[in-house]
Amino acid sequence: MLTWPAPSPCIQPDPTIPSMILCCGDVEQNPGPDFKREIQQNTRDPPEYQEHHQIPSNSGTSTVVFETRNVRNKLSLSRNNSRRIPGSTPYVSLFSDEYIQLDSDSGDELPDPAESSRIPNLCEELVTLKSKLHVADDGNKITKFNINRHDVMDGARRAINRKSFCPRRKMSVKFTDDIGSPEGAVDEGGPKRELLRLLLKNIQFSNIFEGQETHRLLSLNPNALSSGAYKDAGTIIAMSIVHGGPAPKFFNQLLFDMMVGRKVHPTLEDVQDIDMKGKIKKLKDCTNLEDIDLNLSSAGLSTIMNISGSGRPVRNLEDRDFLVQDLLHFVVVGRVTEALSQLTLGLKTLGLYDRMKENPAVFEEVFLNNSNAEIAAATMEAIFVDITFSLAGSNRRKTEEKIVGFWRDFLLDIEENSTELELNLSEVLAFTTGADSVPLLGFDPSPSITFTECGRFPRANTCAMEIALPLNVTPFEEFKESMIFGIKNSPGFGKA
């Protein structure tokens, strides 16, 4: 930290007060005349400081106080005090005995460096994005989605490409079955979450992505590109994240890095075209210039080299490696540049992309499938903790408590035998809530359990996120069969 000398002739230092000593590291001494002259030339009173004066202290040292014209803060340069300001710069730390102190009577406060540099967590980011929904200038306006479960993307794209579409508005979702009967309500959880879940599944397995089912890379689809399908996919993904739908946890790390502008290094495993992958591998495995020239003359590689502009001459094996990297980058990244541009344009909906660019590490949890674990039975039990029982001591209450035990065993059986039963816990959750995974900000309100004596099968209200368990089905094996049959034959089961 700079210790400003008294440059003005109007201030004469008191000869009875010891001169101020500059301390740098472990050295403390009276500087020579040349050093003093250099310090005085390089530490002139800055133009914003208008007044300065020396104040003797009880310790025998001096304090120089500057008052600024443009700000009210008073900065005091003091000696012989051990306090330090958090986040001081390395240059300031050279002057080990000085520190900057804000006067207690000042109305302003210095920013906390730790607070200003803190990275928001995912919950904070999502709450900030969600605050943009249902703003006052939209009033009670809504965006209508008329959806046929057999082609959910068609109805959704009609809605988001309507001139009046606004992603901030409440969503009115109506599913129409084969005979045309509508169901759903304005912005109530179940229909909206079910639509967003079905749309994300449709996007995940659509022809705009390629690669493994749970780790998608962009593909180059000319028809999808010309119709704006990549942009619409980005818009739907952004709406799902901000409106409380499921997270699109099917992105490849490479694709996510491409989206947020990180530098990427594609590998041979990222090439999905089997034929092209084989040609590049042969080139990579070449050990002499003759084999390299032979491979470069093949139709596939020569065409890609002409399109990509990879005219790098190959004089040795190092040049071969550089050429392989050029080809990999073009095949995996370069070809899909326009598609990626469309996708990121859609992700700008509701400000999502800007937050992703600013804090990419926070949003990896949203886009990357880092765990293939299914929902656990214990998680389901914790989600459905709200149970509406009858009066304690009544005969119905005893039956309800027995059925709750059946329900918990039913969840455990599915967890252990999902393949054999052809049902998993994600589908049980979707039956009740419309979402096959827990939303990023949780459920609001919490899903609940009620009971019914009407029929042998469970009933669900996805708007209220309520499942009604049948009371008149015993023993347990019959209860389990009724639950499985009822869930698997519900209208939205397995349709994407």
Confirm if 163 and 144 have CB atoms less than 8 A apart. Answer: no
Is the same domain home to 101 and 139?
no
Of residues 235 and 50, more confidently modeled: 235
- The pLDDT score that the predictor gives to residue 131 is 87
Residue 89 pLDDT > 80, yes or no?
no
pLDDT of residue 55: 47
Q: What are the pLDDT digits (tens) for 315-354?
A: 888 988 998 999 999 999 999 999 999 999 999 999 999 9
The answer to whether the beta carbons of residues 362 and 121 sit under 8 Å apart is yes
For the record, the structure tokens of 99 come out as 């520190």
Q: Which of 85-94, 174-183, 457-466, 471-480 comes out lowest in average pLDDT?
A: 85-94
Instruction: Specify whether 344 is located in the same domain as 328.
Output: no
State the pLDDT at residue 372. 53
The CATH number that applies at residue 256 is: 3.90.1750.10
Assess whether 141 and 220 both reside in one domain: yes
Q: Region 62-68: what's the mean pLDDT?
A: 44
Tell whether 239 and 360 lie within a shared domain. Answer: yes
pLDDT score, position 272: 87
In a domain, 124, yes or no: no
Task: Report phi then psi at 310, rounded to 5.
Answer: -85, 85
- Tell me: do 144 and 248 sit in the same domain: yes
Any domain includes 352 = yes
> Residues 377-399: pLDDT tens digits?
999 999 998 999 999 999 999 99
pTM across the whole model: 0.65
Closest CA to 210 of 151, 270, 276, 129: 270
CA atoms within 13 Å, Cβ hemisphere of 287? 0
Angle, helices 299-308/317-332, rounded to nearest 10 degrees = 70
Report the amino acid identity of residue 298. Answer: S
In the numeric block, which tokens belong to residue 390? 């009858």
Residue 120 included in any domain: no
**What local confidence, expressed as pLDDT, does residue 179 receive?**
52
Q: For residue range 310-319, list pLDDT tens digits in order.
A: 767 788 889 8
pLDDT at 34 over 70: no
CATH assignment of the domain containing 457:
3.30.2410.10
Q: Are residues 398 and 357 in the same domain?
A: no
Is residue 10 assigned to a domain? Answer: no
Number of domains in the chain: 4
Higher pLDDT, 441 or 214: 441
Q: Looking at the domain assignment, is residue 12 inside a domain? A: no
The pLDDT mean for the chain works out to: 76
Amino acid in the structure at residue 37:
R
Question: Using one digit for the tens of pLDDT, what is the confidence trace for 96-135?
Answer: 343 334 444 444 444 454 444 455 788 889 888 988 887 6
Residue 425 lies in a domain: yes
Is residue 372 a part of any domain in this protein? no
> Which helix (DSSP H) or strand (DSSP E) does residue 106 occupy?
none
CA angle (402 as vertex; 399, 405 as ends), nearest 5: 155
pLDDT band at 73 (very low <50, low <70, confident <90, very high): very low
- Same-domain check for residues 352 and 298: no
pLDDT digits (tens, 9 = 90+) for 273-307: 888 899 899 999 998 888 888 888 776 677 777 77
- Same-domain pairing of 210 and 304: no
In a domain, 1, yes or no: no
Question: Does 355 lie in the same domain as 208?
Answer: yes
Q: Do 387 and 324 share a structural domain? A: no
pLDDT in tens, 240-271: 999 988 899 899 999 999 999 999 999 999 99
Query: Is the Cβ–Cβ distance between 260 and 360 less than 8 Å?
Result: yes
Tell whether 246 and 227 lie within a shared domain.
Answer: yes
Same domain for 196 and 344? yes
Q: With H, G, I as helix, E, B as strand and everything else as coil, classify residue 242.
A: helix
**Statement: residue 52 has pLDDT above 80:** no
Q: Which domain holds residue 146?
A: 129-261+338-367
